[in-house]
Structure 1
Amino acid sequence: MERSTARRARKNTGRVTLSDLAALIGVTKVTVSRALNTPELVSVNTLERVRAAVQQTGYTPDLIAGSLASNRSRLIVALIPAMAGTVFQETVEALTTGLAETGYQLLIGQSGYDESREDALIDAILGRRPAGIVLTGVVHSQHARQKLRESGIPVVETWDITREPIDMLVGFSHEKVGKAAAQHLLAQGVKRAAVIAPGDRRSQVRTQAFLKAFAKGAATDPAVAIPVVTIPSPANMGDGRRGLASLLDEHADIEGIFCGADILALGALIEARARGLDIPRELRVVGYGDLNFAKDTDPPLTTIRIDGTRIGKLAASLLVDRIQEGEVDQRVVDVGFKLIERETS
């Protein structure tokens, strides 16, 4: 009889509802809801019956209906440029853990590196009314910024810096990263440098800052451009090999190279070794990201470390405080970065 009722529920509605469970067990919807959400308020016998019915029917709670009824969503949406982008993994893991500890679930979306899609993606997110939004980078579309502000949904922009965040921000200066890479190579005595970098906006900010700082520090002729190879985002190891090959074929006197991603630096190291170059005596290499393989390359890679875990933890904390308290003590947090000096420079 109980199984027949469960089958009819699935056939008529497509899913087992709270009402179906209540009818199946012979109790009220309120009792079932208490058993699922506040089990300490029901008897052990009732709790066991509800759990048995849930297991039998495969019932799953309707979180959307629940959030509408309470007017509070427990869903946080985060947009990252690429699922395969390991540079963001630490942030996603810390964000997931930090939100889960306070009862929020994280939904991750892939935004890609094409900023022209920004408005459409943000419209899609706002239409679902999440409790909060985490964005990778600073939103530049004025239309999107206005809609986000008017939505009333707490927003944290990450992995970048701006004086005018939409709401909250946890990030660092890409301009300072590029400058730091240039100053490091200059300190190592490099007089002729080059760049291999992804083409996304944040990477290009680093590149332009590097070019400006290196040209100034090396006192080079302004008419002589520092060679740059730009790679479509997301980049891969082969791009690094081909990028360095192209640079060396045309500029054999290059002494140092700044790679806008560690995966490009890895490819560059492989190409340098294939050509018999001595790293760092003949070519110094600096990466960006300090990914998990950076310390294990041959030789170990000098790179710029971003504390992705701290970014994720702070973003989660700010969002939860903003959602639950309405205010936060600090709206903008600059986590900075660290140049990790190893044996490639």
Structure 2
Amino acid sequence: MPPRKPPTMQDIARKVGVSPMTVSRALRDGTSVNAQTREAIRQAVDQLGYVFDSTAANLRNQRTGFVAVTIPSINNANFAATVRGLSEGLREHGLQPLLGYTDYDIEQEEVLVEQLLRRRPEAIVVTGGQHTPRCRRLLQGAGIPVVETWDLPEDPIDHVVGFSNADAARMLVDHLAATGRTRIAFIGGDTDRDSRGTDRREGFIAAMKRHGLEADRLIGAGMPPLSMREGAMAMRILLQQAPDTEAIICVSDLVAFGALTECQRAGIDVPGQMAIAGFGNYEISAICVPSLTTVDPFSEEIGTRTAATVIAAIAGEVGSPVISRIEPQVCVRESSEG
């Protein structure tokens, strides 16, 4: 299915009942258009998902040479690996990524998407499948390939390269339950701002219930992005509230490492008294002592596959949306063995 044709200035003009020139003036400076008409044009722009192209005159007959990319964090090793795989795949075809940083905020994603689309990229890659309604309209009307990554949205906009975060948590619950541990906790964010972290928490709850276990040991570690300090603080709270806990699943390896250090500070043997598992397969998870059980989401592979999807879509080699499913893998290490 080819991308939907983006709305034009003529579409806005017809909807409002004015000339395209009036629309152009309103969008450029607005000073020569009355307030009522400007507001009607603004509403039509929002409803149709139109993006004013400030560089159209220069770009109509040439490629821009870049692919727009939004990521939640610039200092997250997982997203950095995805961008690396994407960049290498695009570079072979003369394309470069242009990054936007959302800070796990879908409202900020909406702002960035509009700004990036104004520059007319060859394609746009976004992290996750949760967007504001207006951002979704902008992406649907962009007229270029759109790839949602790091998720498997129920209603994809176009192409998808990702995995089920809920299933990733389920795999960890299955592993810990198989070792005989039943009092298992989850450490994640306080809010639903990180939709992927929320999916892992929901996957944890569903998997615990499937095993006939209580899923009430849910510890909020603060506002994403979460790191080692939040993991240590959350572990301290868990030990105070539920000292009989036998295992914890953390939303990321950084949080898990913080929890591990708090256990060491408190003299709690890992994995003898407490098993710990994280997510992301960060470098620290393999070299800390004890090494951390984790889930490898194959972050760089997500970027590599996304680049291949973008190239094929730009070349018109795909007739319908591509859904490329990544299969994460549990890496069982010292923190949960025994």
- The TM-score normalised by the length of structure 1 is 0.77
Alpha-carbon distance in structure 1 between the residues aligned to 2:321 and 2:304? 14
Alpha-carbon distance in structure 1 between the residues aligned to 2:308 and 2:205? 36
**Which among 257, 261, 272 is matched to residue 266 of structure 1?**
257
Offset at residue 69 of structure 1 (A): 5.7
Partner of 2:63: 72
Offset at residue 104 of structure 1 (A): 0.5
- Provide, for residues 137-175 of structure 1, a one-character-per-residue CA deviation record: whole Å limited to 9, x for no partner: 114323222221222011111000024211111000011
For 1:1-345, what aligned pairs fall within 5 Å after superposition? 68=59, 70-198=61-189, 199=191, 200-220=194-214, 225-325=216-316, 327=318, 331-345=322-336
Alpha-carbon distance in structure 2 between the residues aligned to 1:114 and 1:65? 29
Larger fraction in helix: 1
Alpha-carbon distance in structure 2 between the residues aligned to 1:66 and 1:101? 28
Percent identity between matched residues is 32
What SS does the aligned partner of 2:169 have? Answer: helix
Structure 2, unaligned runs of 5 or more: 1-54
Partner of 1:14: none
Structure 2 vs 1, CA of residues 314 and 67 (structure 1 numbering), >3 Å: closer, same or farther?
A: farther
Alpha-carbon distance in structure 1 between the residues aligned to 2:92 and 2:58? 19
Say whether the 8 Å CA contact 1:229–1:247 is kept in structure 2.
no
What SS does the aligned partner of 2:68 have? Answer: strand
Say whether the 8 Å CA contact 1:67–1:74 is kept in structure 2.
no
Structure 2 vs 1, CA of residues 144 and 160 (structure 1 numbering), >3 Å: closer, same or farther?
A: same
Alpha-carbon distance in structure 1 between the residues aligned to 2:228 and 2:314? 41
Alpha-carbon distance in structure 2 between the residues aligned to 1:219 and 1:238? 29
Q: Could you tell me which amino acid in structure 2 is paired with residue 257 of structure 1? A: I
Alpha-carbon distance in structure 1 between the residues aligned to 2:186 and 2:332? 18
Alpha-carbon distance in structure 1 between the residues aligned to 2:74 and 2:249? 24
What is the number of residues matched between the two proteins? 279
Q: Could you tell me which amino acid in structure 1 is paired with residue 231 of structure 2? A: G
Alpha-carbon distance in structure 1 between the residues aligned to 2:81 and 2:328? 15
Offset at residue 72 of structure 1 (A): 2.2
Say whether the 8 Å CA contact 1:67–1:73 is kept in structure 2.
no
Larger Rg: 1
Structure 2 vs 1, CA of residues 312 and 227 (structure 1 numbering), >3 Å: closer, same or farther?
A: closer
Offset at residue 228 of structure 1 (A): 2.2
What SS does the aligned partner of 2:75 have? Answer: coil
What SS does the aligned partner of 1:83 have? Answer: coil
Which one has more relative contact order, counting CA pairs under 8 Å at least 6 apart? 2
Say whether the 8 Å CA contact 1:79–1:108 is kept in structure 2.
yes
Alpha-carbon distance in structure 2 between the residues aligned to 1:277 and 1:99? 47
Alpha-carbon distance in structure 2 between the residues aligned to 1:104 and 1:225? 48
What SS does the aligned partner of 2:116 have? Answer: helix
Alpha-carbon distance in structure 2 between the residues aligned to 1:106 and 1:205? 28
Offset at residue 125 of structure 1 (A): 1.6
